[in-house]
Structure 1
Amino acid sequence: GLGSGLGMGLGLRLGLSLTLILTLTLRLAPARANWIDGDTSDLPVTVDHGMIIDAGSTGSRMHVYQWAPRLFSEIPPPLTFPKTNSRWTERQAPGLSTLGLDPDAVGEALFPLVEFAKNVLKDKADRWHNYPIYLKATGGMRELPNNLREQVMGWVRAYLEDNSTCPFYFRRDFARVISGEEEAIYGWTAVNFLMGTLLPQTAGLGTAEPNTTWGALDLGGASTQISFFRPDQDVLANLFKLQIGDQKHWNVYAHSFLYFGRHSARDRFLEGLADGEIGGDWIGHVVDAGLGGWNRGRFREAIVGAYPTHLADPNQNKTGYPYNNASAIANLSKPLGPHHRGPLAVVDPCLPPGYENNDTRTRFTKRLLYIKGMLDDDGAGAEESRLTLCLQANLPLLRIKANEWCDFVHTHQCSIGGVYQPRVPSPQSGFRRFFAFAGYTHLWDFLDLPDEASLRQVVEKAGETCEMDWDRLQAHLATVVDPSSKRYAKSKEFLHEYCWMASYVIQLLHTGYGIQMDENITVADELEGHKVGWAIGAMLYEINTLPWGYRPPANATISSEAIFLYSQLVTLVAGLLAVAVIYLVCTKPEAQPRYDRVRLSTYRSSTSSAAEDRQGLIRNAPDYGAV
């Protein structure tokens, strides 16, 4: 009737309108469309350079990267891989975390890094505004109190978003303090990318053998990271699900230990010496110049008399920690009250005999420490080597006692500080070995170890180092590190700490992580011109979140015009189907009730009630057997 006619007319008009809208939409689109993948960034798809500032505890490093423009002829697009070389990396000390509440100091630390990137990319100045720059801060900033950390990062963002100080593309979320787990997973990604074990069946770095992977060991100044993947075992905590494009995902164990980095652990070690928590019988050789402490006669007199000649320059603060050496010197001439914590003299079993100096790293002890190497008559038994004593002294740093609850919950699958860790994988489980970088490379170089070495070899070389006195150790340095290299000055600065560092690394890797003594570890600072570190893993992630464009291949067998005509046909068919559906819906006759010939006061529909229908369904339900 009239209703069905109106419904059919309306359906036809709606269907034709839908077809027209879709057709116009496609006709207005260019033949070679540029589809963006959903990223809200306003960067063009032709961006091919970017930067990451690795803001560590001891310094900040600028890394400049290059990659092919993200224009692809296949959907979904493949991963984009960053490229760089050692000449595109610049380091600036000290670390941002040591600058305190000084916005000018933050700008002074960032200025040379930005200038370095500008110089590397000087031929592309007209595109600087499209090149993204990221700053990712790590353990040093994670150690800061929250209010100080936020203040420093606010100054960092203000500097990088100011076009007069930084001409590169920056958004406020590009600068942040990353979590320890991010740092760990970026390190794992970087190692497997550079070693060719990240992705299957593609060309270039990081693509060769997906069935075997490397674990990653990173030793920074403030924190240390471990990450590995083993397919034959569940990960009950500290799991990081890493998705690599649409080709592969990994359930990686990744954890970061704050205050377990090289310098923070050393600071904790000195605190333990000062408080009497570290050491054996020789810990009695502690002299507290403020409280009186242990009176050991000749030892105390020699130490107290030596203070004025061994204090460093009062205006010099090697690590940037807020401690005034001048006030410590002044305290020596003042009356010492019962609660005064004055300078402290300690014997360090990990220092070479003949070495003595003050230590300005007093952020934990809050006092000046005068430290000296242990002589044979300082309490060390002849039956114990210096390495053994140093290993024993380092063990408390691992906080193994905190594992009690973890051992109960996870049946003794714990590492250090009460943290769960599954057993480290073995080569039999499709695992290569661990790859160590950052601070590990300094130790390997000084111990003159090969790139692949076992912990047993580390123990052997460490034993030789710990037995050297200070004069012999200084002469030995030139035989293992090139005096003309940049690393020589760094090695010389920390020369007295190598026995301690070797002992700490042995305890960390073996007692802590559970790496076997005969298992090889690969250590390297560079691979094929690429700096090994978490930064390249982070850049790999950031690049693949940038916009991408689709470009049909030049040798495509189907022209863009043919694709357009095909799309028009599909649109037309879809429109006709819509018309048919609307027509059927609009013209379906309504069901009319039929009444029996009964009295008008009582009638019964030929259709049953809903309640009766439900009861019928229950009564006539099929028998599926006993449940």
Structure 2
Amino acid sequence: MIFARKPNLQKQPRHYPTWICSMPNGTSSGRRRAAGIFTTILAIFTLIFVWEISRPGPDKYVTVIDSGSTGTRVYVYKWGMRGRSMPSLLALEPTMKEVLAHRKAAGFQRGAYRRIETEPGLDRAAGDLSAVRASLQPLLEWAKKTVPAQRHSSSPVFLFGTAGLRKLPEDDRLKLLNDINQVLESSPFSFRPEYVKVIDGADEGVYGWVGLNYIEGRLKASLGAAPSPLRHPVADAEKAAPYEQETVGALDLGGSSLEVTFIPSRWPRKRKVPVSVLRTPYSLYTHSFKGYGMNDAFDKAVTILLEAMLADRQQQQDTAAAAAAGRTAVPSGVPTLEHPCLQEGYSERFRRKDPAWHMQGSAPTKPTSEPLPSESIEEVLLVGRPRWSECRDLAEKVVDAGALCRRPPCALGAEAPPMHGRFLAMSGFFVVYDFFGLPLTATLAELEDAGRRYCGRPWQELSRDLADIKNIETYCFRAPYVSILLSDGLGLQQSQLSVVKGGFSWTLGAALTEGDTLAGLGSVEDDSLTQALSGAPGWMARSGARLTLAAALLLAWVAAICALLQQSGNPFCRGCCLGPLGDPMAAGAAAAKRQPLKGQPAEPPEMVSPWLLRGPGPELCIPVAPQPSRPLAPPPSQRSHSLHSEMSGMRAERGRRRRDRSSDCLAQLTDWSE
């Protein structure tokens, strides 16, 4: 039998709820069935609640079009939100069958990347809407097939122009951007004019840095804050944490430029670039070394050879016309130029991109004084004369690691902080490694050895075996150029370098950053459960509704477990009950009803009074562990027959009273749960 201690009315508050009831050790099958049904319903509701709060939001998609100097490529990423944590971005690559079909239809040669692209670059289509449409339509068609149809209208499409569009005159660039807007507006994707822009080299470098550190798992997200643009005010840089020990540097080698981005350990804050990535501030060093891309570097090598050839001719034949004009004699027709980085048997015309520009340090600048003699020559005939030592010397001249710098420390003629830590090389670096069949862990010395062997092969053999690969004539030069660029130009050690496998592009960082900033994909939205429970906006509604449900489920589960324990006769929960707010006198009345029968000594208490959870609604009584009790009376077998009969009658009376109280308690428990 369970006794309720009479409350101390002087110490307890006036309205302290103390109604206590108990259930019998055994219940009828109907009550057990009711308790089982209640517990089953509660378990189902709990599973639904857990599934609702744990399931991710609907997947979203981001399409990014990279308009480069040599072509235009499309990338599609699947964006999955996981609450406030870092979103999950998955690159959706085309199948090899799709790539081969596209290349066959477009007449492309085999490349290192598995992607859908069109050639030439959009800069060649300035002012021609039909050409812009023809370049973008195949990319959009593949994106339409990749993104589920029901997600088209909610999936943003971005287009970012890089070096090719940066070189266009302002008027031509504006016309081209207007044509691009017309084409993208007619697509089924979500589009706004600000989704199309020409980014500078610094932005391209930052996007690459973001993408690399994302796949390395080194970024931090603060999605609870308001979104901010990629470049935030310099004042916000004070909040940026020094993550240089946690992040990696990015080296992005393109066709026209080289982007270098990392967090420097020692660098004046005013010369850092403050950026915001997923609402988290960083302070970076980023620089675009123009003219150091693979294609521009080869063009620069041709310019160096041409200038040397014209200088030799000046010494050999100083004609009267040349002396009168004060200029070097320029040969008539197409001059022939022997190239030490081209295979024996190679003889092809080469059209220089822009002879009026020549490279000085890290930026292309027009000469302010007398123009170079080679500026008037737009086309040359390149003849292969492979000599490895001269080829390597030519690559060193192109890199020009010793170029003058106004304010050291420097890299490639530009001011730069010391490059400490680990760096990941991507894009063009991977293309070169992949072409020679080298593992991504190969050293720079192994790269040069592969280049030396390649340069010694006859052109007829290469043109036959590698006919489906683009620009195979340039890889004899690219091998020493990449090695010297990394070791001498940037001053990196072999232990600091790692090459990123193919398929990665700076567009991943652009999708992650601009998908959050411009398209708002990183915003935490209300789910259906929250909207049904509360009209408050944002995360406050979701958090409040879920906390309320969690608390209600917890109370219900405690009640259900307590009821099941009581049914099983577990003494630990014999005093557990649910009841309404009661009067302080109720406990006294309950205790009075539990007085022992006349002539029978009081039974020792089996449990101290339980503690109560107070609240504006029903009260839940949760028991504490049983307390030690006094030794029980001798068993009935040792008593007289009359005493045994009397005790049996008393037990029957107590059982009847307990059943009456438990019926009332179970009824109130059912009412509260409903």
Check whether TM > 0.5. yes
Partner residue of 2:350?
A: 359
Secondary structure at the counterpart of residue 459 of structure 1: helix
Partner residue of 1:394?
A: 395
C-alpha separation in 2, matches of 1:371 and 1:47 = 53
Relative distance call for 1:452 and 1:400 in structure 2 (3 A) is: closer
Partner residue of 1:51?
A: 63
C-alpha separation in 1, matches of 2:291 and 2:260 = 14
Partner residue of 2:249?
A: 215
* Cα deviation code 1:575-614 (max 9, x no counterpart): xxxxxxxxxxxxxxxxxxxxxxxxxxxxxxxxxxxxxxxx
Relative distance call for 1:450 and 1:560 in structure 2 (3 A) is: closer
Partner residue of 1:342?
A: 333
* Cα deviation code 1:41-65 (max 9, x no counterpart): xxxx967122110111111111112
Partner residue of 2:472?
A: 495
Relative distance call for 1:340 and 1:350 in structure 2 (3 A) is: closer
C-alpha separation in 2, matches of 1:212 and 1:362 = 41
C-alpha separation in 2, matches of 1:61 and 1:127 = 21
- The question of 1:540 aligning with 2:512 is answered yes
Relative distance call for 1:456 and 1:291 in structure 2 (3 A) is: farther
Alpha-carbon RMSD across the aligned residues, in angstroms, is: 3.6
Measured after TM superposition, the shift of residue 452 of structure 1 is 1.4
Partner residue of 1:459?
A: 448
Gaps of 5+ in 1: 1-44, 203-208, 294-337, 376-385, 426-430, 479-487, 563-627
Partner residue of 1:193?
A: 214
* Cα deviation code 1:116-169 (max 9, x no counterpart): 111222x42x442222110001111112222222221221122212x3xx1211
Relative distance call for 1:167 and 1:354 in structure 2 (3 A) is: same
- The question of 1:242 aligning with 2:266 is answered no
Asked if the contact 1:286/1:344 (under 8 Å) is kept, the reply is: no
Relative distance call for 1:401 and 1:61 in structure 2 (3 A) is: same
Q: How many residue pairs are counted as aligned between the two chains?
A: 413
The residue type equivalent to 1:48 in the other structure is K
Relative distance call for 1:133 and 1:422 in structure 2 (3 A) is: same
Partner residue of 1:507?
A: 484
- The question of 1:368 aligning with 2:345 is answered no
Partner residue of 1:558?
A: 548
* Cα deviation code 1:250-287 (max 9, x no counterpart): 32221112222111222222223223389xx9x66999
Relative distance call for 1:457 and 1:213 in structure 2 (3 A) is: farther
Aligned with 1:152 (options 155, 176, 182): 176
Relative distance call for 1:422 and 1:69 in structure 2 (3 A) is: closer
- The question of 1:424 aligning with 2:419 is answered yes
Measured after TM superposition, the shift of residue 515 of structure 1 is 1.2
Measured after TM superposition, the shift of residue 391 of structure 1 is 2.1
Structural mapping, 1:34-433, within 5 Å: 48-68=60-80, 72=83, 77-87=84-94, 89-121=115-147, 123-124=148-149, 126-161=150-185, 163=186, 166-199=187-220, 211-230=245-264, 232-235=265-268, 239-245=272-278, 249-276=281-308, 342-364=333-355, 366-374=377-385, 386-400=387-401, 402-405=403-406, 409-410=407-408, 413-416=409-412, 418-425=413-420, 431=421, 433=422
Secondary structure at the counterpart of residue 50 of structure 1: strand
Higher Cα Rg, which structure: 2
* Cα deviation code 1:157-202 (max 9, x no counterpart): 22212x3xx1211111110111111100111111111122223999
C-alpha separation in 2, matches of 1:107 and 1:276 = 44
Secondary structure at the counterpart of residue 391 of structure 2: helix
Partner residue of 2:46?
A: none
C-alpha separation in 1, matches of 2:481 and 2:74 = 29
Asked if the contact 2:244/2:263 (under 8 Å) is kept, the reply is: no
Asked if the contact 2:256/2:295 (under 8 Å) is kept, the reply is: yes
Relative distance call for 1:215 and 1:556 in structure 2 (3 A) is: same
Gaps of 5+ in 2: 1-56, 96-114, 224-242, 323-328, 356-374, 528-541, 553-674
The residue type equivalent to 1:501 in the other structure is R
Secondary structure at the counterpart of residue 519 of structure 1: helix
Asked if the contact 1:238/1:255 (under 8 Å) is kept, the reply is: no
C-alpha separation in 1, matches of 2:444 and 2:81 = 44
Q: Identity over aligned residues, as a percent?
A: 27
Asked if the contact 2:401/2:488 (under 8 Å) is kept, the reply is: no
C-alpha separation in 2, matches of 1:463 and 1:340 = 33
